[in-house]
Structure 1
Amino acid sequence: MNEQLNSKIVHLKTGKKEFQLPYTNRGVGRTLENGLRACVDWVEATFIFVSPTQLISDVLLLNPSNFFPDTGANGYRQCLRNGSIAIFFDGREDMGVHLEMKGRGCREYESYNKRSWKQLFEIMLSNQASFSRLDIAVDDFKGFFTIKGMVRKIKSKELVSKFKKARNVEDIEIKTGEVRGVTLYFGSNKSDIQIRMYDKLSERTDNNYNVPPEITFWNRTEIQSRNKKAQALAVTLANEEDGEITIGKTVCGILRHYLRFTVKGNDSNRRRWKTAPFWEKFLNGVDELPLTTIIEAPTIEEKEEWLSKQVSSTLALVHEAYGGDMKQIERFVKQGIERLKPKDYDMINRFKAQKKTSLVGETKEASNDLLS
């Protein structure tokens, strides 16, 4: 597998206009011409015979000095954290060391370009990792279906499923009554398999993420696997081979097994109704997907958090040693300004633009409150 991280711009045709979607892909020539993308979106695993330092340096290939102490959780008294990558330890003897990488943590790990997911899962399994959760997400930028359309299908009994129930949750803006996002759940959150479908674009924009204006549609289908299912999925990914096995085949198999949207027929047995063309087309696209590595640009807020956790005490030490003279701190800042690159200024400009937009919104809201 080619270990070079190749950045590309993929041109997608939505039927309305062409947009550009930045993405990266390890060792796979296939692009996103069908408007779909698959990625790892959550990893949790426990190690009994690996120390926290070994997990960081030998398994993840990261620098332990970049991890700072944080609050423990879930029975672990201590934690080492680097951004959204967390290592929990110091629990009961049988609890071992626990690795947690949620969605943001997965993107951060990819940005270090240390191991491919295949390589990471291989080394984790060789160290007897016990996976408790592993999520795969499929992003749809083309619009194979809408979440509201899926809800209508379910209410019309046009779904054959292994699940007994589906749950539809709407995020409603109280002030306007506008539905800002819809999430469709199949299976319980604690079951070995849960499938979620939701409007990722609304989620991103509502949480002030910088989404390129060219992206006008973004649905996400997530498969959350736990325990034995997570372990089996990790083994599948570890055994993935270019051109032969793709994550798409696994995801497609899971979706086909649990969900089949249909076209209403006359037969009293709904299982004999034909599969809906949109669902078949979506699954055929998913079936061909390789595992994609996504590099998301860091934010000013993340830089601030790192500065607070990693550098603030050192700055305070220098500040106090020089009798509170800020000139020493200013000298560091000036040196840093000289080293800023175009990508750094891009991050600065995006942050300022977001702050300006937020300030305008807060000012208008305050004015309306005064007049109401």
Structure 2
Amino acid sequence: MENRIIYDYVTFSSQIHSPDDLIDILGLNGVSFDVSNGFYGYRSRLFFCGISIHFEGAPGMGVCVEMSGKGCRTFEEFGNGDYEGIFTLVRQHQPDGEMKITRLDVAYDDFSGKLDLFQLSQDTVENHFVSRFRDWQVIQGNKGGSVNHGSKSSNVYIRIYDKALEQKVALMHWVRVEIQMRKECAWGFIQLKDIIDKKFFSVLNEYLRYIVNDGSDSNRWRLPMVDYWADFVDYDDQVSIFAKPASDFNVAKLYEYITTQTSGACQTYIDMFGSDSFLSTIAAARKGKRLNPKYQQLKSEFLAHGDAILNYLGEHDETKRN
């Protein structure tokens, strides 16, 4: 997989849009949201696969859209994936207090091995870095490790962690560098007039660098960066690595794989031995075996939102046929 930069959490609110307006802005008219009790002082919430629309709050609270990492992938898969459209609206209306962005996470996914989490942890403990933060933390455990700079409650928080282990994806290098921005810093990020790649590294370099701590300069910010960090932040500004990966694996991709990659083999077996034999053979082949985590996650999502997903796929197929 190619290294990439993605949006991984987006929260914004509006005083001038209804929940239906925001569903339309997100391009999610084709899915069915569940209705439940709200959070953050809102009485009600619409929810679909990591996307929450909170409404019916106190006067002045407006309507709040919250997209987690999973929600961002859903936005890309089922919605229009138009982040810049959202940010343009916020830039137009935040100065007047009509809209507001309150959280924005941008993440770099390293699949190529640019960053060694063990080396980063060691260099952090040994103070081979400069940072705008007072707090840092190195965590190691059976669920993976992470190097954290800043406080979760502050307006900027940087987390570097083993995403492969968190997602239980075996035999691959996947280290994520995540910048979590809140309030004024999230607002500042979307106002920067440049490609997301340059904005990501600009913010990162402003807050954190790993250095050759040789004591040659009393101003540690002037010390040279260690080779691996210099290589990491040295990107080709002519080629963007911004991506909208949608779900790494989802119902639509499962459907596509079955209907395009395996349909011929399945149909041949059924023609020869019958559908009952086909189903019993599959069941026998899977007996006692654990599902790949991506399939298990897919089953969980289907149990929660099966009707909405089936409706979407049905409309999607109907559109293709027409």
Q: Shorter-chain-normalised TM-score: which range?
A: 0.7 to 0.9
Corresponding residue for 2:281? none
**In structure 1, the residue corresponding to 2:197 is in which secondary structure?**
helix
Q: Distance in 1 between matches of 2:144 and 2:214?
A: 31
| 1:263 maps to 2:212 | yes
- Which residue identity is paired with 1:307? G
How far the C-alpha of 1:124 sits from its partner, in A, is 4.3
Q: How does 1:128-167 map to 2 (within 5 A)?
A: 128-167=98-137
**In structure 2, the residue corresponding to 1:104 is in which secondary structure?**
helix
- Which residue identity is paired with 2:22? L
Provide, for residues 69-123 of structure 1, a one-character-per-residue CA deviation record: whole Å limited to 9, x for no partner: 1221111000111221110011101111000000000000001252422223223
Contact 1:60 1:115 in 2 (8 A): yes
TM-score by length of 2: 0.74
Q: Distance in 1 between matches of 2:236 and 2:10?
A: 21
Candidates 20, 38, 41, aligned match of 1:75: 41
RMSD, aligned CA? 2.4
Provide, for residues 249-288 of structure 1, a one-character-per-residue CA deviation record: whole Å limited to 9, x for no partner: 1111111111121123242626143211111110013865
Q: Distance in 2 between matches of 1:266 and 1:53?
A: 59
**In structure 2, the residue corresponding to 1:75 is in which secondary structure?**
coil
Corresponding residue for 1:292? 243
Candidates 189, 195, 205, aligned match of 1:246: 195
Corresponding residue for 2:175? 219
Contact 2:35 2:47 in 1 (8 A): yes
| 1:100 maps to 2:66 | yes
Gap change, CA 1:126 and 1:266, over 3 Å in 2? closer
- Uncovered stretches (5+) of structure 1, i.e. residues with no partner: 1-20, 22-31, 173-179, 206-210, 240-244, 312-335, 340-372
- Which residue identity is paired with 1:273? L
| 1:114 maps to 2:77 | no
Corresponding residue for 2:21? 54
How many pairs align? Answer: 258
- Uncovered stretches (5+) of structure 2, i.e. residues with no partner: 251-297, 318-322
Q: Distance in 2 between matches of 1:125 and 1:220?
A: 28
TM-score by length of 1: 0.64
Provide, for residues 185-207 of structure 1, a one-character-per-residue CA deviation record: whole Å limited to 9, x for no partner: 111111110000000000010xx
- Which residue identity is paired with 1:230? A
How far the C-alpha of 1:155 sits from its partner, in A, is 2.4
- Which residue identity is paired with 1:119? G
Gap change, CA 1:286 and 1:185, over 3 Å in 2? farther
